[in-house]
């Protein structure tokens, strides 16, 4: 029994020591805070400089008190050297102790001051202690977005502070910053900030491609194309990533109604760009959206609203899906072309050739009758030759 009692006594003594230690820490901290509250500015600074009875982590509440004092006197911060030193030392100590409860006070300092060096220091500390703080992320996202908007309006923001803020968003790592960081990239404020935004964007948690799709689709229609181009031109994305992204954007674009005019043209450009990416990248999941895109595109072409090139792209993209549904739709379209040709209204030879070629690539027997009929009608020799090759492909 003796060893058991010895162990219990040891645990009791350790526990009592912790309680006494915590009580002593609390009393010491309270003493510092009381002295700071009642002291003159110069003595307040000395208290911060000489407080060593507790660790920097334990003194966190004192440093928050100092930050709040600086905030309460923010009107004098620009000219009062002692007050500036109090604020800067408190910021430094909060960062040293990684005292997360100071986030709100730190943001208050950032928001209240215009002085670049202090704001950059605050941002550095916020990046270290603010992860998971939703309110901070919301505030900083809003501030960075406002700077990008100002730049687009012809106002040049504080580039050093903005660069630090973009870096801090990356440190915080919240996916809600994705649209903001993308917008900073697209604004092209400076090479340094653009590079920083790119690194922060890549460092966020979550699926980069899926976040890209969501962000593009949530932008106003007039602002979608620039974002889509940004991702599709990204050299770090492989073919599969680009195909997934193009499909995700096209899927919404073909289902979006517009009021016509400028908005309709902008949405059409988004569709064309996404479909163009799928011309050379096989992606069966894109078939349904590409069918809708083809229908819309051919309708516009038939009305004389767009050039033939976009129809050819739409047909080529369908032929690259390996999809039964795509084969059915193109076979139906070829039936229509055959009807035109049979009634002495031959359709454009390039469109006919593209349709036959895509059906050959798809290799689906559903197109056999339509292809065979091509060989019997008054098509150009190039179209008939392509139809014979396609017949071989679908008959295998």
* Closest of 175, 297, 163, 274 to residue 225, by C-alpha: 274
Supply the pLDDT for residue 346. 80
Supply the pLDDT for residue 77. 78
**Weakest-pLDDT range from 22-26, 242-246, 271-275, 355-359:** 22-26
Residue 312 has pLDDT above 50, yes or no: yes
pTM for the whole thing? 0.85
Domain boundaries defined on the chain: 11-130, 131-206, 208-317, 322-396
Confidence band of 261 (pLDDT split at 50, 70, 90): confident
Cα(153)–Cα(151) distance, integer angstroms: 5
Average pLDDT estimate for 36-61? 92
Burial status of residue 18 (CB atoms within 10 A of its CB: 0-12, 13-18, 19 or more):
exposed
Average pLDDT estimate for 307-329? 97
Residue 22 has pLDDT above 70, yes or no: no
- Rounded to the nearest angstrom, the gap between the alpha carbon of residue 167 and the centroid of all alpha carbons in its chain is 15
Supply the pLDDT for residue 16. 34
Cα(388)–Cα(274) distance, integer angstroms: 31
Average pLDDT estimate for 304-320? 96
Cβ neighbours of 9 (radius 10 Å): 10
The residue written with tokens 């505030």 in the block is: 139
Query: What is the pLDDT of the chain when averaged over all its residues?
Result: 92
The CA distances from residue 21 to 27, 71, 81, 224, in Å, are 10, 32, 37, 60
Residue 266 has pLDDT above 80, yes or no: yes
Secondary structure (3-state) at 24: helix
* Closest of 372, 281, 353 to residue 322, by C-alpha: 281
Average pLDDT estimate for 177-192? 97
User: Quick check: 341 and 380 in contact, CB under 8 A?
Assistant: no
Residue 12 has pLDDT above 70, yes or no: no
């Amino acid at each position: 029994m003796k060893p058991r009692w010895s162990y219990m006594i040891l645990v009791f003594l350790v526990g009592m020591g912790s309680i006494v230690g915590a009580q002593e820490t609390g009393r010491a901290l309270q003493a510092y805070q009381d002295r700071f509250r009642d002291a003159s500015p110069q003595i307040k600074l000395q208290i911060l400089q000489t407080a060593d009875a507790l660790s920097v982590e334990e003194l966190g509440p004192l440093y928050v008190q100092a930050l709040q004092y600086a905030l309460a006197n923010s009107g004098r911060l620009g000219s009062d050297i002692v007050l500036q030193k109090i604020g800067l030392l408190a910021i430094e100590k909060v960062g040293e102790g990684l005292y997360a409860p100071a986030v709100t006070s730190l943001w208050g300092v950032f928001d209240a001051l215009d002085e670049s060096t202090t704001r950059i220091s605050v941002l550095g500390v916020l990046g270290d202690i603010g992860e998971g703080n939703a309110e901070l992320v919301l505030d900083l996202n809003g501030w960075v977005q406002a700077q990008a908007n100002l730049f687009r309006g012809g106002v040049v923001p504080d580039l050093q502070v903005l660069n630090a803020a973009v870096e801090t968003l990356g440190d915080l790592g919240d996916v809600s910053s994705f649209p903001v960081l993308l917008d900073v990239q697209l604004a092209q404020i400076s090479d340094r900030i653009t590079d920083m935004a790119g690194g922060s964007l890549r460092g966020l948690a979550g699926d980069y491609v899926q976040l890209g799709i969501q962000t593009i689709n949530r932008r106003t229609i007039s602002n979608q194309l620039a974002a889509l181009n940004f991702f599709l031109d990204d050299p770090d994305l492989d073919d599969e990533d680009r195909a997934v992204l193009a499909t995700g954007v096209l899927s919404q674009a073909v289902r979006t109604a517009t009021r016509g005019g400028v908005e309709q043209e902008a949405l059409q450009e988004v569709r064309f760009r996404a479909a163009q990416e799928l011309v050379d990248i096989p992606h069966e999941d894109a078939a349904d959206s590409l069918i809708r895109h083809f229908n819309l595109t051919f309708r516009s072409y038939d009305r004389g609203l767009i050039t033939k090139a976009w129809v050819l792209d739409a047909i080529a993209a369908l032929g690259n899906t390996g999809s039964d549904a795509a084969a059915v739709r193109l076979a139906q379209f070829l039936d229509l072309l055959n009807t035109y040709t049979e009634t002495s209204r031959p359709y454009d030879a390039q469109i006919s050739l593209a349709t036959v070629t895509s059906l050959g690539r798809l290799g689906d027997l559903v197109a056999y009758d339509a292809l065979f009929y091509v060989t019997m009608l008054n098509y150009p020799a190039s179209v008939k030759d392509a139809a014979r090759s396609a017949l071989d492909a679908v008959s295998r």
